[in-house]
């Protein structure tokens, strides 16, 4: 049973518009959430994260929103650029700070295409 779900395998957006990528989770013990971006033939790179004590975190064009009651998070990219075209993975973990934290649970990814 998938604990982290990205229900949209793909998303196409026009350059300059907003991209919204969604992620749902089932495990209420998750307390830290991350988004990674992955280009072909490269490993995932960390994009932005949010702790369960917050409901929003911003970093430049990227904002992550967390709705704990709905067990839902979303990544907003504004404005979208062609260079943002990649696969985006949502990930979650428990007890993020301290100790061994290698056990990230990933969603299956959403392929974002930003058209010029």
Binding stretches for another protein (CB under 8 A): 6, 32, 34, 36, 41-46, 49, 89, 91, 93, 96-109
How many CB atoms lie under 10 A from the CB of residue 40? 6
DSSP H helices, the chain, are: none
**Between residues 15 and 57, which has the closer beta carbon with respect to another protein?**
57
**Do residues 22 and 109 lie in contact, with contact meaning Cβ atoms separated by under 8 Å?**
no
**Do residues 55 and 66 lie in contact, with contact meaning Cβ atoms separated by under 8 Å?**
yes
Q: Please, what is the minimum distance in Å from the beta carbon of residue 116 to another protein?
A: 27
CA angle 48, 53, 56 (to 5 degrees): 45
Q: Please, what is the minimum distance in Å from the beta carbon of residue 42 to another protein?
A: 5
Q: Please, what is the minimum distance in Å from the beta carbon of residue 102 to another protein?
A: 3
**Between residues 43 and 116, which has the closer beta carbon with respect to another protein?**
43
**Do residues 74 and 23 lie in contact, with contact meaning Cβ atoms separated by under 8 Å?**
yes
**Between residues 48 and 114, which has the closer beta carbon with respect to another protein?**
48
Q: Please, what is the minimum distance in Å from the beta carbon of residue 68 to another protein?
A: 18
Sequence-distant (≥ 6) Cβ neighbours of residue 54 within 8 angstroms: 66
**Between residues 18 and 29, which has the closer beta carbon with respect to another protein?**
29
């Amino acid at each position: 049973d998938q604990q982290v779900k990205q229900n949209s395998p793909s998303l196409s957006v026009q350059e300059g518009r907003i991209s919204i990528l969604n992620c749902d989770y089932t495990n209420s013990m998750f307390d830290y959430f991350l988004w990674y971006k992955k280009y072909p033939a490269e490993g995932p790179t960390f994009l932005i994260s949010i702790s369960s004590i917050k409901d929003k975190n911003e970093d430049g064009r990227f904002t992550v929103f967390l709705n704990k009651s709905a067990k839902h998070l979303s990544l907003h990219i504004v404005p979208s650029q062609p260079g943002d075209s990649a696969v985006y993975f949502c990930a979650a973990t428990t007890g993020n700070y301290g100790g061994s934290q290698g056990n990230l649970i990933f969603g299956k990814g959403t392929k974002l295409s930003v058209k010029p």
